[in-house]
Chains A and B, each alone.
Chain A
């Protein structure tokens, strides 16, 4: 044997896959049209669902006439709330939060409807076309109860109650306090403030929500294929609601076409389709059309924030107070509750800054709209928008550069761990490093010079900076949603080498575009000592691990990755023990790499296939007690989780004729810890920023006073298309976190920083006109009105 086959120990220890831009395992099938999304399932003779949805914002259901629909061609069943009353228990989005009312979740509206788009009747037919035909024959008589179309009107005297049992339209109220904010504001050298609004958004995954239940007559079992990013949570909730044990209820999230949060809650349609399949003992399919998806999937943001910030003469932020009204829609969602979005706003308002005193009060109020739920960033896009606007207002009032005022207030490297005024603890993260890296990459000083030139020429050119920090990979000590009783703090990896030597790793996480089949395999390949292409990752299938939740809250790299690392190590120990018998060497002298166990410094080696054969098949090679199953399971809990942070810098120009905003430059410097796959990380940042651009410039769900959605198509609800999104520069400040692998979560950050940076850039561009930016999106129409108002004001001043 030649010595060049020998393994060098330093090579063994160096990660080969983690940190490399490995091409994705998922891509070949998805590119060739061989993916399998829920709607692509082809069960035997499936039935198809269609929903009759409420046309009323708030009304009592007086009568539902279904006789004609029952007789329509192809119709198998017509179901109303009454027909299924005995088939389920309502799902309650419970929370230990005080001052919270948990609205029950029902498969179909019962007694009254609370938003336009709420499912009222379900038709099951032999085709979707025929099911939709039958919807036309259903006659529902409503008694209108008065629409509540805005958060402010919901809390007005004499407003109709959406949930009478709650006794109020305020479904959640909370307050965070630290120090004497009133005194500090009074003593401040400079006080800035305003009324800020982030309008209602749609997460808008390109794949509409889709469910397919496959009924197994043999054992009265069902498999729910769902376009969900929380298949584990859905499994547990449906099990409880329908009284069906987990071994007769499998929930699978196959290829999922994006979520961004909109597929991250339990939906009434998920309950209904399971109920229908069991009642009819048939497989049933349903996919939302775009109108249904826009008008019934969870929506986002929708907050009004009255906020003030005080600074001392040196530009140090001393105090911050805010009153937030969140328009949470008609129901509290499961499992996150209606507190998730608005409470997160007040939790994160102090941001990455050392603000001395704080008071943040929030009320989440019920309105006649679909519930708000998680959307990429949750709460932080608005908290960052408000805090970063206040920072810029303070900087302007004090004559300090926006970059400098942030440098003075950010938590510095030596000050971590740092507890901000709302109580959140930041672990060591490169806040200042991100600021400096972003400024350098953007050429900040050059941009300011360019701006001065542009202004001389009468152009509206602006530069905006935004910093944020977020909690990611949250462990069991912190609930992802306030007071929520389910465990979101751990994830399981189960890695097995079977009798053919093949490696299969099962997880409870549920990728919907993040590429976890690739990144988790990268981690396992390194830590187990396998070849990347030999590791198959299974995820999003409730049959594969005993308990799971899914992929949300920037957790899967940290929790799934941590579980992968630990399970890989455990399995590698087993491999070494078997190899030590086979190679007649001490287990400590064996290294496992590239699918081989090697005695260090020799050419003695066995591969995984030979090891598997020795353990499972060849009963002569190993003593009985050495035939350990080649499988390891580990449930990882990072306990606290870890911080991620970034600085975004945008340069924009506003066209005074069309009022369109053009983004000239956009730079992100982010600290997401150790990168598993830089290609995927950049992709996540690009996509997050594009959504942030949408939130800042285009996207707004508009409901009229009667609770009707006016922007229910992709023509009216505009998400960015290719010409509107600039090429981004992404810089990584790679400081390792304290969790396993040194990873940090990074799926949401782009959407958190971008709206604030763009808002600040627009405000900077328009500052010569004395225009402030306090609402997003800054559509051309809004900018036109602000510029008109500024023009009128200046004429008024000239007249005085």
Chain B
């Protein structure tokens, strides 16, 4: 058993008894109770489990919890609350960028990462950025629209 000290959504956790083989996704869900992070494939393809680790998007199903010792993690719960969605979450709602909602946490976390790092000048850029996240409900059109809209608002604010 290993000790894992992490900051998740701004809160510090010291968990003394973590099996070295425990996946980060299981750690977040089962040990910290943060079930907003979803597990869709456990082989790093679907992207539903995407979280931010030290500011970069990462597949929590492909990381071990012990690898995140000392890290700063943000999950979907850290972005906004149902009463006060953050900008990107609000645009997903506005543009009907979700249906069943299962891939949504991963889409939103990937979208956050894209918005922070890239200009996202065209829809093709956004689609390319989302190519590691699978959605079976929406056909992606409205997810792209939500991120496009969030990107436009970001540009407006910056200018």
Taking Cβ atoms with an 8 Å cutoff, the residues of A that contact B are 23-24, 26-37, 39-40, 42, 129, 204-208, 255-258, 260, 287, 289-290, 512-515, 679-680, 682-683, 686-691, 713-715, 719, 721-723, 725, 727-728, 750
Q: Tell whether A725 pairs with B102 under 8 Å between CB atoms, given A27-B93, A257-B38, A289-B42.
A: no
Given B77, B99, B133, which contacts A687 in the complex, CB threshold below 8 Å?
Answer: B99
Taking Cβ atoms with an 8 Å cutoff, the residues of B that contact A are 19, 21-22, 29, 33-43, 45-46, 48, 75-77, 79-83, 85, 89, 92-94, 96, 98-105, 108, 123-124, 126-128, 130-144
Q: Which residues of B contact A28 (CB under 8 A)?
A: 82-83, 85, 93
Q: Contact between B131 and A206 (Cβ–Cβ < 8 Å)?
A: no
Q: Contact between A33 and B134 (Cβ–Cβ < 8 Å)?
A: no
Q: Which residues of B contact A723 (CB under 8 A)?
A: 124, 127-128, 131
Q: Within the assembled complex, what's the spacing in Å between the Cα atoms of A623 and B112?
A: 60
Closest beta carbon of chain B to A556's beta carbon, Å: 14
Per DSSP, chain A at the interface is loop
Q: Tell whether A687 pairs with B93 under 8 Å between CB atoms, given A33-B75, A33-B105, A206-B48.
A: no
Q: Within the assembled complex, what's the spacing in Å between the Cα atoms of A683 and B144?
A: 13
Q: Which residues of A contact B82 (CB under 8 A)?
A: 28-29, 31-32, 34
Q: Which residues of A contact B138 (CB under 8 A)?
A: 683, 686-687, 690
Q: Contact between A33 and B37 (Cβ–Cβ < 8 Å)?
A: yes
Q: Within the assembled complex, what's the spacing in Å between the Cα atoms of A728 and B137?
A: 14
Q: Contact between B96 and A680 (Cβ–Cβ < 8 Å)?
A: yes
Q: Which 10 residue pairs across A and B have the least CB separation, nearest first?
A: A33-B36, A257-B102, A513-B100, A30-B101, A686-B139, A690-B139, A513-B99, A33-B76, A40-B35, A714-B45
Q: Within the assembled complex, what's the spacing in Å between the Cα atoms of A29 and B83?
A: 9
Q: Contact between A256 and B22 (Cβ–Cβ < 8 Å)?
A: no
Q: Which residues of B contact A683 (CB under 8 A)?
A: 96, 99, 137-139, 142
Q: Could you give 21 example pairs across A and B, Cβ below 8 Å?
A: A28-B82, A31-B85, A33-B76, A34-B82, A35-B36, A37-B102, A39-B39, A40-B35, A255-B100, A257-B100, A258-B99, A289-B42, A514-B99, A686-B141, A690-B136, A714-B45, A715-B45, A723-B124, A725-B139, A727-B123, A727-B144
Closest beta carbon of chain B to A648's beta carbon, Å: 13
Q: Tell me the number of A-to-B contacts counted with CB atoms below 8 Å.
A: 180
Q: Which residues of A contact B105 (CB under 8 A)?
A: 33
Q: Contact between B131 and A721 (Cβ–Cβ < 8 Å)?
A: yes
Closest residue on chain B to residue A35 by CB atoms: B101
Q: Contact between A728 and B102 (Cβ–Cβ < 8 Å)?
A: no
Q: Tell whether A258 pairs with B79 under 8 Å between CB atoms, given A129-B19, A723-B131.
A: no
Q: Which residues of A contact B19 (CB under 8 A)?
A: 129
Q: Which residues of B contact A258 (CB under 8 A)?
A: 99-100, 102, 136-137
Q: Which residues of B contact A290 (CB under 8 A)?
A: 40-43, 46
Q: Contact between B130 and A721 (Cβ–Cβ < 8 Å)?
A: yes
Q: Within the assembled complex, what's the spacing in Å between the Cα atoms of A226 and B131?
A: 30
Closest residue on chain B to residue A290 by CB atoms: B41
Closest residue on chain B to residue A34 by CB atoms: B82
Q: Contact between B38 and A37 (Cβ–Cβ < 8 Å)?
A: yes
